């Protein structure tokens, strides 16, 4: 709920106390998905610092990226794309 309501400091405290960053609700939405849907860029960055999975999908096959695209949150779209690129670069070195 902290991510849906853009409560950055509440989310930060919960994460510091060990909250599961990728916990999903009954519809499959994670905190990162709520943040991207609502356009909360700083909150999305915080969740990525705690290794939020950018590829999780809801029961309706929605992803954080699809939600950001749907709502035109261009800064978050870029953030997700860069995160995916960096992650892939760690797994598959660029030759």
pLDDT tens per residue across span 33-87? 999 999 999 999 999 999 999 999 999 999 999 999 999 999 999 999 988 877 6
Best CA proximity match to 56, nearest among 70, 46, 45, 67: 67
57: helix, strand or coil: strand
pTM beyond 0.75, yes or no:
yes
- 24 found inside a domain: yes
CATH number at residue 17: 1.25.40.20
Strand-pairing partners, residue 63, are 57
- 3 found inside a domain: no
Domain that holds residue 61: 8-91
Domain count, the chain: 1
């Amino acid at each position: 709920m902290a991510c849906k309501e853009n409560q950055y400091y509440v989310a930060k405290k919960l994460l510091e106390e060990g909250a599961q960053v990728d916990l999903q609700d009954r519809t499959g939405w994670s905190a990162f998905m709520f943040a991207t849907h609502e356009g909360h860029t700083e909150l999305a960055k915080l969740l990525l610092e705690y290794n939020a999975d950018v590829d999780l999908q809801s029961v309706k096959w929605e992803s954080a990226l699809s939600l950001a695209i749907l709502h035109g949150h261009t800064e978050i779209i870029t953030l997700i794309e860069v995160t995916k690129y960096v992650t892939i670069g760690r797994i598959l070195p660029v030759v």
